[in-house]
Structure formats: structure tokens, C-alpha cells
């Protein structure tokens, strides 16, 4: 990615601000399987929507499906987390 489009992230809750150029991706902070060609990183959506662990992981695997590993495997992982969440919700409802 060479268009040097600048992104700014600001969080009012913890006063965190960072800027990065679109070509400043790395495998730790901004892996390309989550960022390349995207306006929002999944971590920012997860934080903004305040998703719990299972829903966050499902979103993460859906967002990277076919971009890092095998798409079917990523989607199966997402389904696993959603099914686990549904199971726990049903158990709590019946308790």
C-alpha cells in the first residue's frame, strides 16, 4: 500500500491518540490481514461496540476470513465462538 492515506484514532475514554500512515503496518500493531484496504481495524470496532470475548473473536475471524489463513477455517472459528456464546446464554436463561 503506497497511497500514504493517514488514519487517526482517538478514544475519549482513555485519551489515547495515535496516527499511522497506511503503509506503516506491522504484524504486531497493524497486521495487514486486519487492515489492508479497510477503513476500520477490527480491534477498533470491538472496542467501540464493547463486544464480549466470544463476539469479539467471532468478529475478528469473520473480518480476516481468507486474508490470513483458510477462509473456511476462519469462519468455522467464528461459528465456534458464536455457538459457545449461544450455549452460555441458554444455560444462564435456564438457571
Query: ∠ CA(39), CA(44), CA(47), 5° rounding?
Result: 155
Q: Tell me the domain boundaries of the chain.
A: 6-94
| 3-state secondary structure at position 82 | helix
In this predicted structure, what is the pLDDT of residue 16? 44
| Cross-strand bridge partners of residue 21 | 6
Q: Which one has a higher pLDDT value, 9 or 63?
A: 63
Rounded CA-CA distance 87/82 in Å is: 9
In this predicted structure, what is the pLDDT of residue 66? 85
Summarised one tens digit per residue, pLDDT across range 52-79 is 999 999 999 999 988 887 999 999 999 9
For residue 2, pLDDT over 70 is answered with no
Closest CA to 54 of 20, 19, 79, 90: 79
Summarised one tens digit per residue, pLDDT across range 22-57 is 455 577 777 777 677 778 888 888 999 999 999 999
HEC sequence for 13-51: CCCEEEEEECCCCCCCCCCHHHHCCCCCCHHHHHHHHCC
Amino acid at each position: 500500500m503506497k497511497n500514504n492515506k493517514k488514519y487517526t484514532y482517538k478514544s475519549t475514554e482513555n485519551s489515547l491518540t495515535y496516527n499511522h500512515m497506511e503503509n506503516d503496518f506491522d504484524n504486531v500493531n497493524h497486521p495487514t490481514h486486519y487492515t489492508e484496504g479497510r477503513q476500520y481495524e477490527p480491534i477498533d470496532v470491538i472496542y467501540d461496540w464493547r463486544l464480549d470475548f466470544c463476539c469479539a473473536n467471532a468478529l475478528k475471524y469473520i473480518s480476516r476470513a481468507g486474508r490470513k489463513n483458510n477462509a473456511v477455517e476462519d469462519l468455522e472459528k467464528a461459528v465456534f465462538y458464536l455457538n459457545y456464546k449461544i450455549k452460555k446464554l441458554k444455560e444462564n436463561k435456564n438457571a
